[in-house]
Amino acid sequence: MNQTAGGVTISGLSLAIGGVTILSGISFGVAPGEILYVIGRNGAGKSTLFKCIVGVARGFSGSITISGVDSRSLRARDRARLVAYVPQSSPGDVPYTVGEFLRMSRYPWRGVSSEAEDRRAVNEAMELTGTTELSERKMSSLSGGEKQKTMIASAMAQGASVILMDEPTTYLDYAHQVETMEVVARVNEERGVTMMIVTHDVNLAMGSSGVVVALADGRLLWTGEPRGLMEPGRLDEIYGVPFRQYRSDNPGDCPILAPERASL
Amino acid sequence: MSLRMRVFTLFAVAAAVVITAPWFGVQFMTPFDIIGNYADPMELRIFWQLRVPRVILAWCAGAVFGLCGMVFQALFRNPLAEPSLLGVSSGAAFGAAAAIRMGLGTGLIGSFAIPSGAFAGAALAISIILAFSHNSRSASDATLLLAGVAISSLFSSLIMVFQYTGGAVEAYRLLSWTMGGIRVVGVNEGLRAFPPLVLTLFMSLFFSTELDLITFGDEIAVTRGVELEKTRRLLFAGMSLSVAIVVANCGPIAFIGLIAPHIARRIAGSGHRALAPCTAALGGSALVVCDTAARTLWAPADLPVGIIISFLGAPFFLWLLFGGRNN
C-alpha cells in the first residue's frame, strides 16, 4: 500500500501480554507526510500500539509496514532509520548535555553517514526546533517545555521519515503546549515528516488537517477526518462521557469540544 | 581546566604512580640500586620479579574493577552498582574458593580451575541479580543494592563453610585471599590481569555510544537502534569473566568499581568514550597506591590491600549514598 518513505500500514495487529489482550485486530494506514492523531480512553492501547510500531513491544501478531518494509524483518538500527519515537515520559536525571544527546541520536547511521552529515542533521534539527541555544545545557537542567523540544529535535536528528509522539503536550502549560505543537507542525510541513501523535486533546486534532484514529479496549473504534468527531454521539462513545460542542460567535471557527460537566 | 587538560593531568599522575610505586617496599630503593655494575643481584630480583609484577597486577586489577563498575552503573542505571556491592565479586570468590576446596587449587590445574570456578560463581550471581531486576521493573537504587547485600552474604557464608571445614593451612590461605591481596612472583603472574583489562577496555570503548544511550532508558536505547538484549548479554558476560579472572588472582577487592568511575566522571564527564580510559587510569592508580601503602605501612608485614581499600571506600560509599553524588 504505502510503498513510499514515510508511509505506515498496520494490518491485523494484535498483542496479548500474560494472557491479557492489549491490542486486537487493529488495521489502518498513514500516508507519507500526514499527521495522525490517536485518541481513546486510558488503557485503550494507544501507547502499546506505538511501542509495537517503534520496536519496544514485541511478540505481536499481524503486520506493521514502515516505508514499505515489514517491521519484523528489521534490525533495531534499520528500524531506527525509518521511525523515531518521543516517549511519554522523557528521561529524567541524565548527565549529558543537549548537544551530546542529539549527536547520540545519529547512532543508527554510524558507519553510513559522514561526520559532516551528522553535524548537519543535528544542527538542522536544533534550528527547526529552536533548541540551538540549549546545546551546551545539561539535560537535567531543562524545563518541561525545553525537554520536549529537545526530544523532538532528537527524533528529527535521527533522520527518520516517521516520528511517533506519545502525549507530547500532557505535562506542559498552555504556552509550552502551543510552542510544542508549532514545532511539530514545522517539522511536518517543512520536512514532510509523517507524525503520529497520541493525545487526549481532541481539540488539537480538530484544529488540524490530519486523520484521527480512536481506540477502545484495544480495538479500532473509529477512524476518519477530525470533523467526524463532531458527529452526534461520536465522542460520547469514544470516551464514555457526554460531550458538548461550544461554538464561537465567528462562524468560521472550529467548535470547541468538551465533556459536559455538572456545573460549568 | 579544559577537558583535554584534565584528562592529560590524570594520565600524567597515573604514569607517575606506576613509575614511583616499585621503589617503595620493605626497603626503599633508588635507581642506583639496580642500574650499573654495582647492582645487587638480590635487589635486582626483588625489583623485577616481585615489585614490578605486583605493580602491574595491581594496576590492571584496579582498572578492571573500575571499568566493571562503570559498565554496571550504566547497565543497571544505578550510580551505586559495582561488582562487589552487587555480589558478583563474592560470587566469583565463592566459585574460586570451591575450586580450591575441591583440591583443584594448585599447579597447572589450579591456574585453569580457579578462574573457571570464579567465572561460574560470578555468572551465577549476575543471573540471580538479573532475574530479580527483570521481575520487578521498578527496582529502585535501594532494592538492587539490598539484593546485592543478600547475594554477598549468601556466598560469604558458603565461603566460611569452606574455611571452617578445611584444614588449617587451607583455611588460612582462603582467609587471606578473601581479604583481597596482591601477591605475585615473576612477570608471568604479574600479567594475569592484563587480558581482562584489554577485554573490559575494548568492550567499554566499542560499546561507548550504546552505554550512553542505555543511560537514557530502554525505550530511548531501543528506538535509537541499540540491539539492547544482545549488547547487554555481551557486556554482562565480558564483565563477569573479567571480574572473575581478577578476583581469582587478587581476591574480591571492593569499592574500586564505585570510586574510580565517580571521580572519573568529574574529570571526563559522562560520555563513555572519554570516561572509560579515565576510569581505568584512576582505578589502576588507586589500587597501586593502596597496595603500596599495604606493603609499606606495617612493613615488614604485608597487609591485604582489600583491608585498606575497604577502610577508605566505606566512607566514600556513605558520602555517595547521602547526597554526595548530586554535584
* A78, A83, A104: residue with CB nearest B209: A104
**B172–A contact, CB cutoff 8 A:** no
Q: Which of residues 128-167 of B touch A (CB under 8 A)?
A: none
* A55, A83, A96: residue with CB nearest B212: A96
**CB contacts, 8 Å: A57 with chain B:** none
> Nearest 10 degrees: CA dihedral of B64, B65, B69, B72?
60
**B230–A contact, CB cutoff 8 A:** no
Residue B168 cell numbers, joined? 588449617
**B270–A contact, CB cutoff 8 A:** yes
Chain Cα centroid distance, residue B263 = 15
Residue type, B52: V
Confidence category of residue B263, pLDDT binned at 50, 70, 90: very high
CB contact under 8 A, A55 and B223: yes
**B208–A contact, CB cutoff 8 A:** no
**B79–A contact, CB cutoff 8 A:** no
The three-class DSSP label of residue A86 is strand
pLDDT for res B135: 60
Q: Tell me if B43 sits within 8 A of B33, measured CB to CB.
A: yes
pLDDT for res B120: 94
How many other C-beta atoms lie within 10 A of the C-beta of residue B142? 11
**B222–A contact, CB cutoff 8 A:** yes
- At B258, which CATH number? 1.10.3470.10
> pLDDT tens digits for chain A (264 residues)?
344 688 999 999 999 988 899 999 999 999 999 999 999 999 999 999 999 999 999 899 999 999 999 998 899 999 999 999 999 887 777 889 999 999 999 999 998 999 999 999 999 999 999 999 999 999 989 988 899 999 999 999 999 999 999 999 888 889 989 999 999 999 999 999 999 999 998 888 888 888 999 999 999 999 999 988 888 889 998 998 888 888 878 877 788 888 887 555
Q: Which has the closest alpha carbon to B325: A97, A95, A101?
A: A95
CB contact under 8 A, A94 and B228: no
pLDDT for res B125: 93
Each residue's pLDDT tens digit, B196-220: 999 999 999 999 999 999 999 889 9
**CB contacts, 8 Å: A88 with chain B:** none
pLDDT for res B162: 86
Mean pLDDT for the stretch of residues B222-235: 94
How many other C-beta atoms lie within 10 A of the C-beta of residue B48? 15
pLDDT for res A1: 39
**CB contacts, 8 Å: B222 with chain A:** 54-56, 76
Confidence category of residue B175, pLDDT binned at 50, 70, 90: confident
Q: Name the residue in chain B with its Cα closest to that of A77.
A: B225
Listing from the earlier edge strand, what are the strands of the sheet with A69-70?
Answer: A20-30, A8-17, A61-66, A69-70
d(CA B253, CA B251): 6
Q: Name the residue in chain B with its Cα closest to that of A91.
A: B216
CA neighbours closer than 13 Å in the CB half-sphere of residue A124: 16
**B321–A contact, CB cutoff 8 A:** no
Beta pairing class for A194-198 and A35-40: parallel
Report cis status (omega within 30 of 0) of the bond before B300: yes
- What is the tally of structural domains in chain B? 1
Q: Tell me if B220 sits within 8 A of B84, measured CB to CB.
A: no
Mean pLDDT for the stretch of residues B96-107: 81
DSSP of A1-57: ---STT-EEEEEEEEEETTEEEEEEEEEEE-TT-EEEEEE-TTSSHHHHHHHHHTSS
Listing from the earlier edge strand, what are the strands of the sheet with A219-224?
Answer: A83-86, A162-166, A194-198, A35-40, A211-216, A219-224
pLDDT above 90: residue B134: no
Entry pTM: 0.90
- Per CATH, is A8-259 categorized as 3.20.130.10? no
Q: Name the residue in chain B with its Cα closest to that of A88.
A: B219
**CB contacts, 8 Å: A100 with chain B:** 212, 271
Each residue's pLDDT tens digit, B60-97: 999 999 999 999 999 988 888 999 989 999 999 999 88
Chain Cα centroid distance, residue A167 = 7
**How many Å lie between the alpha carbon of A243 and the closest alpha carbon of chain B?**
35
Each residue's pLDDT tens digit, B7-21: 999 999 999 999 999
Residue A218 cell numbers, joined? 484495544
**How many Å lie between the alpha carbon of A264 and the closest alpha carbon of chain B?**
40
* B216, B265, B271: residue with CB nearest A91: B216
Residue B282 cell numbers, joined? 584512576
pLDDT for res B224: 95
d(CA B139, CA B80): 13
Task: Look at B70 and B318; give whichever has higher pLDDT.
Answer: B70
Confidence category of residue B139, pLDDT binned at 50, 70, 90: low
CB contact under 8 A, A100 and B226: no
> Residue B36 is inside which H or E element, if any?
none
Residues found in chain A: 264
Strand partners, A26: A13
Domain housing B309: 3-324
pLDDT for res A3: 47
